[in-house]
Amino acid sequence: MNRVALRRLTAAAVVVLLSHGLPAAAQTIGEAFKRVNSSVVVVRTTESEINARDLVSIPGVGSGVLISPDGRVLTAAHVVHTADEINVEFLDGTVVRATVIASEPEADVALLQLDRVPEPAVVATLGDSDGAEVGDQVFVVGAPYGIGHTLTVGHISARHKPNTIYSGMSLAEFLQTDAAINQGNSGGPMFSMAGEVIGVVSHIISKSGGFEGLGFVVTSNMARRLLLERKSFWSGLDGFVLNGALARVLNLPQPVGLLVQRVAQNSPSAITGLRGGTLKATIDGRTFTVGGDIILEVQGIPITGRTSYEQIQERLGYLHPGAQLTITILRDGRRTELLGRLP
| Catalytic residue set | 78, 108, 186
Helix, coil or strand: residue 19: helix
Closest CA to 102 of 221, 226, 266: 226
Nearest alpha carbon to residue 80 among 40, 107, 47: 47
Its sign, for the CA torsion 143, 144, 150, 152, is negative
189's CB contacts (< 8 A; 6+ apart) are: 36, 39, 40, 63, 64, 65, 74, 124, 140, 141, 142, 197, 199, 200, 201
Cβ 135 vs Cβ 156: under 8 Å: yes
Q: Are the beta carbons of 104 and 171 closer than 8 angstroms?
A: yes
* Rounded Cα–Cα distance for residues 332 and 325 (Å): 21
For 314, residues 6+ apart whose C-beta sits below 8 A from its C-beta are none
Contacts of 258 (CB under 8 A, 6+ apart): 239, 240, 241, 242, 294, 295, 303
The answer to whether the CB of 54 falls within 8 A of the CB of 279 is no
- Assess contact for 312 and 301: CB atoms under 8 A: yes
